Amino acid sequence: MSKSRKRFPAGTCCCCKSQKRGKQISHRKFRRREHVMVHNQHFENLPMLQYEITSQWNLGGDGKCFWGWAPEEEWFQKEMRK
């Protein structure tokens, strides 16, 4: 993994490095709601997307932003590491 690099220079804009924890919680809520609806036979109200239950803005970070292309810069090389 020492030579692996990101392919596109983008990442989260704000305080956290990843949205992993928020996505885990969102998927749990989705699966739980789906299970309850199927059990109660409310098939017409089944959610299609996880974002019908949890807003994207409730995940960690503020979405993704583009860092630009500067391959010769030191900060760019550091950010492009996995």
pLDDT confidence of residue 70? 81
pLDDT confidence of residue 39? 94
pLDDT confidence of residue 1? 58
pLDDT confidence of residue 35? 93
Going residue by residue through the chain, which has 82 residues, state the pLDDT in tens, using 9 for 90 and above: 567 777 787 777 776 677 788 889 889 999 999 999 999 999 998 888 888 888 877 777 766 778 788 878 887 887 777 6
* Whole-number CA gyration radius for the chain: 18
Amino acid letter for position 52: E
From residue 6, how far is each of 18, 61, 71, 72, 79 by CA, in Å?
14, 19, 12, 15, 9
Contact 59, 22 (CB under 8 A): yes
